[in-house]
């Protein structure tokens, strides 16, 4: 009953310009209180950055409501899912997490990333998944179902990220991922897609489901996208975005930053175009991680000084332009650092072969879902391989996660593999962990790969160390000295 009243009030407030303004102010205050005032553990500047990001997300979402890019049904479903976090339910949820911790000695991860298929209709340069159009590698539907049901029932999570390959190509046992979204209608799915297969019919179906948001890959403007993804791709993506807007499905964009498109990502025009003109609600940025020793992959990597410029651009986006942008390597303060290795508040990754990896960008695994299930085990067991435990021990030592967020190490270099490669090779990667591809196997013993990444990390440390001390830790020191 309370939920029905809440929904009615919310809809009423959204129905005209003045009450929307009032709602935005109220919600903005609520976010500030939740992220800044009610958190007495995390360093101040990181809390402020979290608030700025969430306030930007709210602003972008409400702007899209105003433009009519969010259908009533989607709005209702998202609000219902948010209400799952209302006070009494939150208490029940916390109790379940505590029970998990008592039983297994750690909290469960918040979500997983699952790639059910390797197949993709594009063949992009430097793709982390090395996807290709002819790959038949995929998880059967009953396996996808079992994994998600375990995440739902055992981890008590209501959030799953779907990646690929191209998820809209997935078909198994006569079903697609839309059947999964329908079956788990109390969960929310973020789906990375190349966006070329979102027809008006698919967009309509997503709207009626109401629990999915596609994050559509772009590389920049037409020239950048077509260069990396193939001629004509940009145009198809624009049509998909139009289909999503027409159907009222909220969407974001996902961008792989490379040495080639970094300059585009430093321009206001790029953000204005996708947020204001195309109606994106959020943007996730991933900087290309070289997997394998090909010099091509290293040439495509964003060099450290450009990465720093992208960091400043990200700050500008969430503080001045109020665009909800998060950059997986530069926005480490939003997530208390690295979220891999199944840490509390974090995730792990399962690919199309069922291999369980600490992160999409850490291509090594110990456990496999088929083996676990055949041996009467579960996903919980995968949390306790040496690889996962080593990663969490490093996170804990460096103040990632919730270990000691009041005096963390440099969260501007959060990545366990990319930003701390020497440590990754020496203290995290185990002999028993296998590479998920030939390139990953090659990289683990390749001296040139090691040297290049370590040099990158040293350079990054020089560039970000002072910023971290002066712009993030100084406030803490001054407060401590009072």
> Could you say which of 359, 382, 398, 429 contacts ligand SF4 (CB under 6 A)?
359
From 61-69, 91-99, 206-214, 334-342, give the range in contact with ligand SF4 by CB under 6 A.
334-342
Mode of pairing for the β-strands spanning 325-327 and 347-350: unpaired
Residues 6+ apart with CB under 8 A from 342: 108, 109, 348, 358, 382, 383, 388, 392
The token pair at 329 is 């390597």
Stretch 193-232: interaction string toward ligand SF4, x if CB under 6 A: ----------------------------------------
Q: Does 311 bind ligand SF4 (CB under 6 A)?
A: no
Smallest separation, CB 120 to ligand SF4 (Å) = 21
Q: What gap in Å lies between CA 95 and CA 80, rounded to an integer? A: 21
Nearer Cβ to ligand SF4, position 415 or 453? 415
Strands 356-357 and 347-350: antiparallel
Nearer to ligand SF4, 214 or 363 (CB): 363
Determine the 3-state secondary structure of 302 from DSSP. Answer: coil
Shortest distance in whole angstroms from residue 360 CB to ligand SF4: 7
- Shortest Å distance, C-beta 334 to ligand SF4: 11
Token readout for 258 is: 């490379």
The number of beta carbons lying within 10 Å of the beta carbon of residue 436 is 22
As measured in angstroms, the least distance from the Cβ of 349 to ligand SF4 is 9
Structure-token match 């028993």, residue found: 432
Q: How far is the CB of 329 from ligand SF4 (least distance, A)?
A: 7
Q: How many CB atoms lie within 10 A of CB 460?
A: 23
Nearer to ligand SF4, 64 or 287 (CB): 287
For residues 226 and 467, give the distance between their C-alpha atoms in angstroms, rounded to a whole number.
Answer: 36
The least distance separating ligand SF4 from the CB of residue 5, rounded to whole angstroms, comes to: 40
237 vs 288, beta carbon nearer ligand SF4: 288
DSSP 444: H
Read out DSSP for 234-265?
A: HHHHHHHHHHHHHHT---EEEEEE-TTTHHHH
Among 70, 74, 333, 338, binds ligand SF4 (CB under 6 A): 338
Nearest-approach distance from CB 445 to ligand SF4, in angstroms: 20
Q: Rounded to whole angstroms, how far apart are CA atoms 409 and 136?
A: 42
> Exactly one of 218, 265, 340, 433 binds ligand SF4 (CB under 6 A); which one?
340
Residue 120 or 413: the one with the smaller Cβ distance to ligand SF4 is: 413
* Closest approach of ligand SF4 to the CB of residue 362, in Å: 5
Per rule CB under 6 A, is residue 74 in the interface with ligand SF4?
A: no
Stretch 393-422 residues interacting with ligand SF4 (CB under 6 A): 414-418
DSSP annotation of 398: T
Looking only at residues 362 through 381 of this chain, which bind ligand SF4 when binding is defined by CB under 6 A?
Answer: 362
Interface with ligand SF4 (CB under 6 A), residue from 53, 314, 361, 421: 361
- Which one, 383 or 417, has the nearer CB to ligand SF4? 417
Tell me the window of 90-98, 159-167, 332-340, 382-390 that interacts with ligand SF4 (CB under 6 A).
332-340
Helices (H), 302-347: 304-316
Calpha distance 157→108 (Å, rounded): 9
Please state, in angstroms and as integers, the Cα–Cα distance from residue 398 to each residue in 408, 419, 477, following that order: 6, 13, 18
DSSP 157: -
Count of residues that interact with ligand SF4, criterion CB under 6 A: 12
Beta bridge partners of 347: 111
Q: Is 328 in the site for ligand SF4 (CB under 6 A)?
A: yes
Give CA–CA dist 129/150, Å, rounded.
24
Which residues contact residue 385 at a Cβ distance below 8 angstroms, ignoring those fewer than 6 apart?
Answer: 366, 367, 430, 432, 433
Question: Which residues inside 462-481 make contact with ligand SF4, applying CB under 6 A?
Answer: none
Q: Is 339 in the site for ligand SF4 (CB under 6 A)?
A: yes
Cβ proximity to ligand SF4: between 190 and 362 the closer is: 362
- Residues near ligand SF4, by CB under 6 A: 328, 338-340, 359, 361-362, 414-418
């Amino acid at each position: 009953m309370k939920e029905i009243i809440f929904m009615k009030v919310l809809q009423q407030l959204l129905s005209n310009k003045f009450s929307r303004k009032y709602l935005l102010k109220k919600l903005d205050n609520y976010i500030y209180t939740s992220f800044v005032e009610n958190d007495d553990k995390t360093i101040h500047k990181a809390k402020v950055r979290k608030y700025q990001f969430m306030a930007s997300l709210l602003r972008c979402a409400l702007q899209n409501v105003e433009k009519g890019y969010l259908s009533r049904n989607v709005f209702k479903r998202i609000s219902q899912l948010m209400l799952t976090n209302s006070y009494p339910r939150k208490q029940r949820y916390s109790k379940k997490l505590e029970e998990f911790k008592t039983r297994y000695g750690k909290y469960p991860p918040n979500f997983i990333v699952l790639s059910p298929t390797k197949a993709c209709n594009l063949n992009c340069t430097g793709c982390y998944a090395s996807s290709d159009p002819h790959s038949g590698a995929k998880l059967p539907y009953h396996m996808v179902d079992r994994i998600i049901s375990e995440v739902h029932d055992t981890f008590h999570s209501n959030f799953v990220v779907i990646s690929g390959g191209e998820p809209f190509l997935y078909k198994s046992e006569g079903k697609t991922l839309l059947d999964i979204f329908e079956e788990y209608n109390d969960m929310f799915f973020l789906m990375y897609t190349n966006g070329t297969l979102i027809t008006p019919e698919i967009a309509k179906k997503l709207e009626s489901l109401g629990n999915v948001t596609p994050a559509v890959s772009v590389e920049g403007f037409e020239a950048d996208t077509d260069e990396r993804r193939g001629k004509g791709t940009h145009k198809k993506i624009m049509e998909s975005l139009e289909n999503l807007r027409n159907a009222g499905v909220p969407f974001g964009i996902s961008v792989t930053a490379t040495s080639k498109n970094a300059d585009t990502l430093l321009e206001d025009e790029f953000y204005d175009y996708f947020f204001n003109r195309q109606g994106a609600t959020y943007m996730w940025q991933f900087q290309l991680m070289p997997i394998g020793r090909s010099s091509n992959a290293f040439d495509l990597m964003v060099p450290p000084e450009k990465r720093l410029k992208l960091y400043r651009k990200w700050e500008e986006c969430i503080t001045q332009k109020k665009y909800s942008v998060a950059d997986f390597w530069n926005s480490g303060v939003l997530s208390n650092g690295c979220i891999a290795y199944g840490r509390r508040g974090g995730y792990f990754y399962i690919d199309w072969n069922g291999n369980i990896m600490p992160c999409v960008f850490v291509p090594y695994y110990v456990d496999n879902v088929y083996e676990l299930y055949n041996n009467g085990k579960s996903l919980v067991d995968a949390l306790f391989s040496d690889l996962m435990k080593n990663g969490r021990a490093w996170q804990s030592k460096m103040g990632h996660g919730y270990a000691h967020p009041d005096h963390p190490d440099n969260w501007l270099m959060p990545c366990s593999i990319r930003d701390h490669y020497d440590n990754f090779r020496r203290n995290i990667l185990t002999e028993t962990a296998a590479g998920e591809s030939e390139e990953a196997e090659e990289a683990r013993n390749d001296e040139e790969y090691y040297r290049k990444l370590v040099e990158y990390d040293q350079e990054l440390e020089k560039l970000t160390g002072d910023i971290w001390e002066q712009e993030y830790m100084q406030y803490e020191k001054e407060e401590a000295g009072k």
